[in-house]
Amino acid sequence: MTATMGLRAPLAELPRPQRGTAERATALAACTAMVFQPILRPSGPGNSSPVDLFTAATILFFVIWAATSGRKLGAPYVVPFGIMIVAGGIAGLAGSLPGTSLLEIFQDLVLIAWAVALYNIARRPGVLRWLTATFAYSSIVWATVLVVASLVGFTPLEGLSQAEGNRALFTLGDPNYASAYWVVSLLMVFAAKRPKHWPLRWFGYAMLTWAIVLTESNGGVLELLIAFGFLALVACYRRRGVVGALAVVLALASVVSLGLWLVPFSRLQTWALQSGQSYLVNSLGRSNGSSSQRTLLVQESMDLYQSDGVLGSGPRTTKQLLIERNYPYAKEAHDDYLAALTERGVFGVVGIAMLVLVAGWRAGRALRAPPGEGFAAEVARPAGLVAALLAMAVAGTYYQVLHFRFVWILLIFVAVLASRPDAGDRVGRPS
């Protein structure tokens, strides 16, 4: 007994393993992933990108942390997205392009694993604040880099391509992807209220708006208008109640209706085409052509669904099948909701409908959360994140945004805001 006690004393004096190392590593990897969100070029095998290095690191460190922390973990959106994954797997195996579909399913699994990791680390005290602030600051830096590159004519950083003309893609590879990222970034700056000093914050707004303009994307402008309208509606509801919110809706509807009556949209398109200004010609001027192309693609996609049946053709197969069957406009589905039907079948529609409903429910809870309490204490303006999520939900009707990494960042941040901190966790106020 004496010998045992003599051994215990020296052992007690030895330094214990440092706690929280895996947690800090997970948070750091997640923050770094926020920084590298727009860095999608150069692309690697399987549509991988440089940012995926930090996505994988976040998942790896999270697994280590989850295995050693003993904490209760959450997995939002797993059921609806899981239904979509299973539906896609069945459709892919039954379809004519199983290899293409299974690669997409693998990417789905990585995406949901990253979302689970991000959700759980973001619920740790102070981490949500760090993630939103990092996203906001880094997006301003990237937007400034793009603007400077456009001013000096540095094409590699502008991301100009022969196929897209003067539309600046930066390192995102697609003008619609780029515009969506800049829109979400602007709303993230608003939500996080970062930079802290308003002159720097307004400089950030200016750079991000400039970046949106450089993409020459009609969708980006529409997303901004939807987000701003929603924020105005929320502000009026909180100040004036339901009557004030309805008044804003009626006022906006009246202004838009009067404007379109005085100046028909077709006249605006003609004016834009004849203006000689690159931005107007390639944005507003081409809107009629873009709408016609999307209408044609919807018709072609419905033909695919009718020929391939209720199971769908398999994820990411639309373009290849349209080419093989000699359709005149062979493109990927420009619509998340239509793609769910044509590529994942009826069960895919069930999955995406559940995802929208769950996200909407969580967004409502995030908006109703008392300011300065719970996780709302870490985000100055939670309505900004909900507005960004709403804008992306609308964008999904004319473009496939569900696999945009930053869309899942929004989904996860809103889910965190809608949840309650664990017992014993002290969540601080934003500074």
Reported as a single tens digit per residue, the pLDDT across 271-295 is 766 676 766 666 666 655 566 677 7
Give strand pairing partners of 165: 161
The pLDDT, as a whole number, for residue 4 is 42
Tokens of 95: 């379809």
| Half-sphere exposure (Cβ direction) of 314: Cα atoms closer than 13 Å | 20
Query: Which residue has 């309208």 as its token pair?
Result: 229
Evaluate if residue 395 carries a pLDDT over 70.
yes
Best mean pLDDT range from 52-66, 161-175, 260-274: 52-66
**Which of 362, 405, 382, 391 has its CA nearest to residue 193?**
382
Q: Which two tokens stand for residue 367?
A: 């908006």
Decide: 183 and 388 in contact? Cβ < 8 Å.
yes
Cα–Cα dist 160/170, whole Å: 8
pLDDT at 54 over 80: yes
Q: What is the pLDDT of residue 7?
A: 38
Which pLDDT value is given to residue 290?
64
Nearest Cα to Cα of residue 224 among 271, 272, 182: 182
The answer to whether residues 84 and 340 touch, using CB atoms and an 8 Å cutoff, is: yes
Q: Which residues pair with 161 in a beta bridge?
A: 165
Q: What is the mean pLDDT of residues 328-332?
A: 67
Burial class (CB in 10 A: 0-12, 13-18, 19+), 11: exposed
261 or 2, greater pLDDT? 261
Q: What are phi and psi of 161, to 5 degrees?
A: -140, 160
pLDDT score of 305: 84
Name the region of 255 (left: φ>0; alpha: ψ -120 to 50; beta: rest). alpha
Pairwise CA distance, residues 343 & 101, whole Å: 9
Nearest to 166 by CA among 286, 267, 266: 286
CA pair distance 236, 252, nearest whole angstrom: 13
pLDDT for residue 127 = 96
Residue 428: the pLDDT is: 58
Which region among 326-330, 336-340, 360-364 has the lowest average model confidence (pLDDT)? 326-330
Task: Work out the pLDDT band at 423, boundaries 50, 70, 90.
Answer: confident
The pLDDT of residue 285: 62
- φ, ψ of residue 368 to 5 degrees: the values are -85, -10
Q: How far apart are CA 416 and CA 410, in angstroms?
A: 10
**Lowest-pLDDT range, 3-7, 141-145, 192-196, 229-233?**
3-7
Is-contact 369 418, C-beta < 8 A? Answer: yes
- What would the pLDDT profile of 224-260 be if each residue is shown by its tens digit? 999 999 999 999 998 888 888 888 888 888 988 888 7
What is d(CA 172, CA 179) in angstroms, rounded to the nearest whole number?
9
Considering only 28-32, 63-67, 154-158, 266-270, which range has the smallest mean pLDDT?
266-270
What is the structure's pLDDT at 3? 44
Distance (Å, rounded) from C-alpha 114 to C-alpha 30?
Answer: 9
Confidence of residue 333 (pLDDT cuts 50, 70, 90): low
User: Is the pLDDT confidence value at 171 over 70?
Assistant: yes
Mean pLDDT across the chain, nearest whole number?
88
Task: In whole angstroms, give the CA distance from residue 190 to residue 247.
Answer: 24
Average of per-residue pLDDT across 260-273: 74
Give SS3 for 263.
Answer: coil
- What pLDDT, on the 0 to 100 scale, is given for residue 291? 67
